[in-house]
Amino acid sequence: MSSNSVRLKFICRLGYGDSLPKGEEFAGDVPVFGSNGQYTTTSARNTDVPAIVLGRKGSYGKVNWAPVGCFASDTTFFVDERLTAANLRWLYWSLQTLSLDEGSLEAAVPGLNRDSVYDERVWLPSLTDQSSVANYLDRETTRIDALIAEKEHMLALLEEKRTALISRVVTCGLDPNASLKPSGQEWLGEIPAHWGLQRLKQLADVRGGLTLGKQYSGELLEYPYLRVANVQDGYLKLDDILTVVVPASEAASNLLAYGDVLMNEGGDIDKLGRGCVWRDEIAPCLHQNHVFAVRPHSVDPEWLALWTSTLQAKRYFESRAKRSTNLASISGSNVKELPVLLPPVAEQLAIQQFLVDRHSRLEAVRKELRDSLRLLSERRAALITAAVTGQIPIEEMTQ
């Protein structure tokens, strides 16, 4: 850090946000900011315009910009022009370099400690230079953000292409000239005439999982278990596995087996029914009651997992779902009634191989895009740090 570094307590004060009064949510168009950014609206601001909002609880350390001011909630700190003589936009960029999300002295309730923030040091240029730094970073990060948005859009298009490809070949086959017949299901339409259609309950056992929160006596053992967040569309996310303590007898009835097809019972509407094949990635492992373990006895697990990822199967799940404000769920009985398309085994294998080949090509492009996104994000962070710590000459920023 430059010798011109100054503790933040000499640059700004952090104001505490307020509790949103009951009945005031949606009462106007003023944004309400929590630790993770805007989450609703209200009728009146408690900051000036503009303002910086810092996450104090929950997503603590996150730095948000409120261009039209806001109502800063009680999980946040805020800084506006009443609380600093510095250029507010420069301060916003400087705060992003301090890794404020890395620790807390409030151990009982993890959060951001105000005195710890005040002890952080930043490079303090003149007000004129602060303005130059802020303008430079606004301009350059806008360019980088546009590139990031473009590549994220390309990734989304590739995912749409992948889903559309799976849906087409899993429901229509590889032969474009195959004779068709009505499926008898409005959401499915016509299917190849020589394919079968059976209910899932005729092909597999649908098993509910472990209900959390029960009290047990006797000897208890600790087991890892899968929850909705671990089961993605076609793959597993196993970097955050929780454990539960239960008797061995309770665990035995909720153990996953190699070849189970995992299907989500609830969550966001797009998560319903999505699943993939379990291959003993963790053994032993249980599953929560919000994740069905479908144990096939008369259908290939790989084919079943492909079928559940089609747009047509998703339509079925959505049509049978119970919905609340933001969530949806599907019952085990409705999962059992899922119609499953059954081509001859040779065709199933040919379709699977076709999709493996196509997926490998798409994945190569996706990897290039993800690598490019990573480099752009690293470039953005490095640029901000260099600009606010004096590593880039002011003259260069104002050219």
Beta-sheet pairing, 221-226 with 286-287: parallel
Mean pLDDT: which of 88-97, 211-220, 233-242 is highest? 88-97
Handedness of CA 158, 161, 163, 169 (dihedral sign): negative
pLDDT at position 2 is 44
Q: What is the 3-state secondary structure (H, E, C) of 148-170?
A: HHHHHHHHHHHHHHHHHHHHHHH
- Looking at the structure, tell me whether residues 197 and 327 fall in a common domain: yes
Q: How far apart are CA 297 and CA 202, in angstroms?
A: 9
- Looking at the structure, tell me whether residues 106 and 146 fall in a common domain: no
For residue 86, how many other CB atoms are within 10 A of its CB?
A: 21
Nearest-5° Cα angle at 51, 49 to 52: 170
Element (H, E) at 365: helix 345-388
Q: What is the pLDDT of residues 3-31, one digit of tens each?
A: 478 999 999 999 999 999 988 999 999 99
- Looking at the structure, tell me whether residues 17 and 70 fall in a common domain: yes
For residue 80, how many other CB atoms are within 10 A of its CB?
A: 22
Do the Cβ atoms of 296 and 237 come closer than 8 Å? Answer: no
Do the Cβ atoms of 286 and 226 come closer than 8 Å? Answer: yes
- Looking at the structure, tell me whether residues 162 and 220 fall in a common domain: no
Q: What is the pLDDT of residues 119-177, one digit of tens each?
A: 999 999 999 999 999 999 999 999 999 999 999 999 999 999 999 999 999 999 999 99
Query: Would you place residue 214 in the very low, low, confident or very high pLDDT band (cuts 50, 70, 90)?
Result: confident
- Looking at the structure, tell me whether residues 246 and 331 fall in a common domain: yes
- Looking at the structure, tell me whether residues 54 and 77 fall in a common domain: yes
- Looking at the structure, tell me whether residues 28 and 86 fall in a common domain: yes
Query: Would you place residue 104 in the very low, low, confident or very high pLDDT band (cuts 50, 70, 90)?
Result: low
- Looking at the structure, tell me whether residues 360 and 277 fall in a common domain: no
Q: How far apart are CA 79 and CA 100, in angstroms?
A: 15
Instruction: Judge whether residue 91 has pLDDT over 80.
Output: yes
DSSP state of 12: B
Q: What is the pTM of this model?
A: 0.81
List of residues 6+ apart from 241 with CB closer than 8 A: 224, 225, 226, 230, 282
* pLDDT (average), residues 24-49: 95
Domain end point (choices 321, 342, 363)? 342
* Among 80, 94, 87, CA closest to 126: 87
E-strand stretches of 265-369: 266-267, 275-277, 286-287, 291-296, 322-323, 328-329, 339-342
Domain end point (choices 102, 122, 142)? 122
Instruction: Judge whether residue 284 has pLDDT over 90.
Output: yes
Q: State how many domains the chain has.
A: 3
Element (H, E) at 27: none
- Looking at the structure, tell me whether residues 378 and 337 fall in a common domain: no
Cis before residue 339, ω within 30 degrees of 0?
Answer: no
* Among 293, 230, 304, CA closest to 267: 230
Q: What is the pLDDT of residues 345-377, one digit of tens each?
A: 999 999 999 999 999 999 999 999 999 999 999
| Structure-block tokens of residue 291 | 């994740």
Q: How far apart are CA 7 and CA 13, in angstroms?
A: 11
For residue 323, how many other CB atoms are within 10 A of its CB?
A: 11
- Which CATH number goes with the domain that contains 295? 3.90.220.20
Instruction: Judge whether residue 113 has pLDDT over 70.
Output: yes
Helix axes 127-172, 88-95, angle to 10 degrees: 60
Residue 326, domain extent: 179-342
Of the two residues 380 and 229, the one the predictor is more confident about is 380
Q: What are phi and psi of 276, to 5 degrees?
A: -160, 175
- Looking at the structure, tell me whether residues 195 and 325 fall in a common domain: yes
* Among 323, 245, 251, 328, CA closest to 287: 251
- Looking at the structure, tell me whether residues 246 and 312 fall in a common domain: yes
Q: What are phi and psi of 248, to 5 degrees?
A: -60, -35
- Which CATH number goes with the domain that contains 364? 1.10.287
The string of DSSP codes covering 223-285 is EEEE-GGGB-SSSB--SS-EEEEE-HHHHHTTB--TTPEEEE-EESGGGTT-EEE---SSSS-
pLDDT at position 268 is 76
- What region does 234 belong to: left with phi over 0, alpha with psi -120 to 50, or beta? left
- Looking at the structure, tell me whether residues 274 and 210 fall in a common domain: yes
Sheet holding 204-207, edge to edge: 204-207, 291-296, 261-264, 275-277
